[in-house]
Protein backbone atom coordinates (compact mmCIF):
# COMPACT_ATOMS: atom_id res chain seq x y z
CA UNK A 1 0.00 0.00 0.00
CA UNK A 2 2.78 2.43 0.96
CA UNK A 3 4.75 1.55 -2.19
CA UNK A 4 1.70 2.23 -4.39
CA UNK A 5 1.11 5.59 -2.72
CA UNK A 6 4.76 6.57 -3.11
CA UNK A 7 4.69 5.64 -6.81
CA UNK A 8 1.61 7.79 -7.34
CA UNK A 9 3.23 10.74 -5.54
CA UNK A 10 6.38 10.43 -7.69
CA UNK A 11 4.28 10.25 -10.86
CA UNK A 12 2.33 13.34 -9.78
CA UNK A 13 5.62 15.16 -9.21
CA UNK A 14 6.77 14.35 -12.74
CA UNK A 15 3.49 15.55 -14.25
CA UNK A 16 3.43 18.79 -12.25
CA UNK A 17 7.08 19.51 -12.96
CA UNK A 18 6.66 18.89 -16.68
CA UNK A 19 3.60 21.14 -16.88
CA UNK A 20 5.40 23.95 -15.03
CA UNK A 21 8.32 23.76 -17.45
CA UNK A 22 5.96 23.58 -20.45
CA UNK A 23 3.99 26.60 -19.26
CA UNK A 24 7.18 28.62 -18.88
CA UNK A 25 8.39 27.70 -22.37
CA UNK A 26 4.94 28.44 -23.82
CA UNK A 27 4.85 31.95 -22.36
CA UNK A 28 8.42 32.76 -23.37
CA UNK A 29 10.03 33.16 -26.75
CA UNK A 30 12.14 30.17 -27.79
CA UNK A 31 14.57 31.25 -30.48
CA UNK A 32 15.59 28.90 -33.25
CA UNK A 33 19.19 27.81 -32.81
CA UNK A 34 21.71 26.01 -34.96
CA UNK A 35 22.53 22.91 -32.93
CA UNK A 36 24.75 21.04 -35.37
CA UNK A 37 28.02 20.45 -33.49
CA UNK A 38 31.10 22.02 -35.01
CA UNK A 39 34.17 19.95 -35.83
CA UNK A 40 36.05 21.86 -33.14
CA UNK A 41 33.46 21.02 -30.47
CA UNK A 42 33.45 17.36 -31.51
CA UNK A 43 37.24 17.18 -31.31
CA UNK A 44 37.18 18.82 -27.90
CA UNK A 45 34.71 16.21 -26.67
CA UNK A 46 36.77 13.37 -28.14
CA UNK A 47 39.94 14.74 -26.55
CA UNK A 48 38.15 14.68 -23.20
CA UNK A 49 37.11 11.08 -23.87
CA UNK A 50 40.71 10.18 -24.68
CA UNK A 51 41.91 11.56 -21.36
CA UNK A 52 39.07 9.81 -19.53
CA UNK A 53 39.93 6.46 -21.11
CA UNK A 54 43.60 6.95 -20.25
CA UNK A 55 42.59 7.36 -16.62
CA UNK A 56 40.40 4.25 -16.67
CA UNK A 57 43.15 2.15 -18.21
CA UNK A 58 45.65 3.41 -15.63
CA UNK A 59 43.18 2.47 -12.87
CA UNK A 60 42.59 -0.94 -14.45
CA UNK A 61 38.99 -0.25 -15.33
CA UNK A 62 38.14 1.90 -12.32
CA UNK A 63 35.37 0.76 -9.98
CA UNK A 64 34.06 -1.75 -12.54
CA UNK A 65 37.45 -3.43 -12.89
CA UNK A 66 38.82 -5.05 -16.03
CA UNK A 67 36.49 -7.03 -18.24
CA UNK A 68 37.01 -10.75 -18.68
CA UNK A 69 34.42 -13.28 -19.90
CA UNK A 70 34.17 -14.83 -16.42
CA UNK A 71 33.58 -11.47 -14.69
CA UNK A 72 30.87 -10.09 -16.96
CA UNK A 73 28.35 -8.13 -14.91
CA UNK A 74 24.64 -8.51 -15.57
CA UNK A 75 24.23 -4.77 -14.99
CA UNK A 76 26.41 -3.89 -17.99
CA UNK A 77 24.51 -3.40 -21.25
CA UNK A 78 27.42 -4.43 -23.47
CA UNK A 79 30.89 -5.84 -22.63
CA UNK A 80 32.56 -3.36 -24.99
CA UNK A 81 31.55 -0.55 -22.63
CA UNK A 82 34.11 -1.92 -20.16
CA UNK A 83 37.88 -1.65 -20.15
CA UNK A 84 39.48 -4.93 -21.21
CA UNK A 85 42.72 -6.43 -19.97
CA UNK A 86 44.09 -6.18 -23.52
CA UNK A 87 43.54 -2.39 -23.72
CA UNK A 88 46.88 -0.58 -23.63
CA UNK A 89 45.69 2.80 -24.88
CA UNK A 90 42.41 4.60 -25.68
CA UNK A 91 43.09 3.73 -29.31
CA UNK A 92 42.80 0.02 -28.45
CA UNK A 93 39.45 0.69 -26.78
CA UNK A 94 38.07 2.59 -29.74
CA UNK A 95 39.30 0.06 -32.29
CA UNK A 96 37.34 -2.80 -30.74
CA UNK A 97 34.29 -0.62 -30.09
CA UNK A 98 34.15 0.61 -33.68
CA UNK A 99 34.63 -2.94 -34.92
CA UNK A 100 31.66 -4.02 -32.75
CA UNK A 101 29.48 -1.19 -34.10
CA UNK A 102 30.36 -2.17 -37.67
CA UNK A 103 29.38 -5.77 -36.99
CA UNK A 104 26.10 -4.77 -35.37
CA UNK A 105 24.99 -2.34 -38.09
CA UNK A 106 26.21 -4.74 -40.76
CA UNK A 107 23.68 -7.29 -39.48
CA UNK A 108 20.90 -4.72 -39.82
CA UNK A 109 21.30 -3.49 -43.39
CA UNK A 110 19.82 -5.35 -46.34
CA UNK A 111 22.33 -7.19 -48.57
CA UNK A 112 23.14 -5.53 -51.92
CA UNK A 113 21.36 -2.35 -50.77
CA UNK A 114 22.79 1.14 -51.11
CA UNK A 115 23.16 1.26 -47.33
CA UNK A 116 25.17 -1.98 -47.40
CA UNK A 117 27.45 -0.55 -50.08
CA UNK A 118 28.02 2.63 -48.08
CA UNK A 119 28.76 0.57 -44.95
CA UNK A 120 31.32 -1.53 -46.83
CA UNK A 121 33.14 1.69 -47.79
CA UNK A 122 33.20 2.73 -44.13
CA UNK A 123 34.48 -0.73 -43.22
CA UNK A 124 37.35 -0.33 -45.68
CA UNK A 125 38.27 2.97 -44.02
CA UNK A 126 38.22 1.22 -40.66
CA UNK A 127 40.51 -1.56 -41.89
CA UNK A 128 42.95 1.07 -43.16
CA UNK A 129 43.03 2.77 -39.74
CA UNK A 130 43.36 -0.59 -37.98
CA UNK A 131 46.40 -1.47 -40.12
CA UNK A 132 47.96 1.91 -39.30
CA UNK A 133 47.35 1.32 -35.59
CA UNK A 134 48.95 -2.14 -35.78
CA UNK A 135 52.29 -0.72 -36.93
CA UNK A 136 52.12 2.55 -34.99
CA UNK A 137 53.65 1.51 -31.68
CA UNK A 138 56.53 -0.58 -33.11
CA UNK A 139 57.38 2.23 -35.55
CA UNK A 140 57.34 5.10 -33.03
CA UNK A 141 58.29 3.36 -29.82
CA UNK A 142 57.79 5.60 -26.79
CA UNK A 143 57.00 8.58 -29.05
CA UNK A 144 53.80 7.00 -30.35
CA UNK A 145 51.41 8.76 -27.94
CA UNK A 146 50.89 11.84 -30.14
CA UNK A 147 50.36 9.79 -33.28
CA UNK A 148 48.03 7.41 -31.42
CA UNK A 149 45.89 10.30 -30.23
CA UNK A 150 45.62 11.72 -33.76
CA UNK A 151 44.59 8.30 -35.02
CA UNK A 152 42.07 8.00 -32.18
CA UNK A 153 40.43 11.29 -33.23
CA UNK A 154 40.33 10.12 -36.86
CA UNK A 155 38.76 6.86 -35.71
CA UNK A 156 36.12 8.72 -33.70
CA UNK A 157 35.20 10.71 -36.82
CA UNK A 158 34.73 7.45 -38.70
CA UNK A 159 32.82 5.89 -35.80
CA UNK A 160 30.35 8.80 -35.89
CA UNK A 161 29.69 8.20 -39.59
CA UNK A 162 29.14 4.50 -38.93
CA UNK A 163 26.70 5.12 -36.09
CA UNK A 164 24.73 7.63 -38.18
CA UNK A 165 24.43 5.03 -40.96
CA UNK A 166 22.20 2.93 -38.70
CA UNK A 167 19.09 2.10 -40.78
CA UNK A 168 16.90 2.74 -37.73
CA UNK A 169 17.80 6.43 -37.96
CA UNK A 170 15.29 7.00 -40.76
CA UNK A 171 13.84 10.19 -39.27
CA UNK A 172 14.91 13.82 -39.18
CA UNK A 173 12.80 15.37 -36.40
CA UNK A 174 13.00 14.69 -32.64
CA UNK A 175 10.56 15.80 -29.93
CA UNK A 176 12.16 15.96 -26.49
CA UNK A 177 11.52 17.31 -23.00
CA UNK A 178 14.25 19.44 -21.44
CA UNK A 179 14.13 20.24 -17.74
CA UNK A 180 16.32 20.46 -14.64
CA UNK A 181 15.91 20.47 -10.88
CA UNK A 182 17.59 22.24 -8.00
CA UNK A 183 19.23 18.92 -7.09
CA UNK A 184 20.61 18.43 -10.59
CA UNK A 185 19.49 14.80 -10.71
CA UNK A 186 18.18 13.45 -14.00
CA UNK A 187 15.85 11.12 -12.11
CA UNK A 188 14.55 13.85 -9.77
CA UNK A 189 10.74 13.62 -9.77
CA UNK A 190 9.50 16.18 -7.22
CA UNK A 191 7.67 19.05 -8.91
CA UNK A 192 8.67 21.48 -6.14
CA UNK A 193 12.36 21.18 -7.09
CA UNK A 194 11.94 21.69 -10.84
CA UNK A 195 13.62 24.88 -12.02
CA UNK A 196 11.65 27.45 -13.97
CA UNK A 197 13.22 26.58 -17.30
CA UNK A 198 13.09 24.05 -20.09
CA UNK A 199 9.97 22.69 -21.76
CA UNK A 200 8.86 20.61 -24.73
CA UNK A 201 10.96 21.14 -27.86
CA UNK A 202 11.05 19.97 -31.48
CA UNK A 203 14.43 19.51 -33.14
CA UNK A 204 14.18 19.79 -36.92
CA UNK A 205 16.78 18.38 -39.30
CA UNK A 206 18.46 16.39 -36.55
CA UNK A 207 20.35 14.11 -38.96
CA UNK A 208 20.40 16.33 -42.01
CA UNK A 209 24.00 16.79 -43.08
CA UNK A 210 25.24 14.95 -39.97
Write down the domain spans for the chain: 2-31+172-203, 39-164
What is the predicted pLDDT for the residue at 3? Answer: 46
Beta strands in 50-207 (DSSP E): 66-67, 83-84, 174-178, 199-203
For the beta carbon of residue 165, count every other beta carbon within 10 angstroms: 20
Kindly indicate the confidence band of residue 9, based on its pLDDT and cuts at 50, 70 and 90. Answer: very low
What is the predicted pLDDT for the residue at 138? Answer: 55
Whole-number Å distance between alpha carbons of 160 and 171: 17
pLDDT at 196 > cutoff 60: yes
Maximum Cα–Cα distance across the chain: 68
What is the predicted pLDDT for the residue at 176? Answer: 81
Q: What do you get for the CA distance between the two ends of the chain, in Å? A: 50
Kindly indicate the confidence band of residue 146, based on its pLDDT and cuts at 50, 70 and 90. Answer: confident
Mean pLDDT, rounded, for 100-119 = 93
Per-residue 3-state assignment (H helix, E strand, C coil) for 46-61 = HHHHHHHHHHHHHCCC
Amino acid sequence: MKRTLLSRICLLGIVVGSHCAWAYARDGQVQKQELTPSIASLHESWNDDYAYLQGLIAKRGGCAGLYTPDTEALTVAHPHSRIWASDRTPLDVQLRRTDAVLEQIGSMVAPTSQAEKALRELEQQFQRLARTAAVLSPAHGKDASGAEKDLYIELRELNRKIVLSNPLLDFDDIIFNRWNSSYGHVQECWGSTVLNEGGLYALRGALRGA
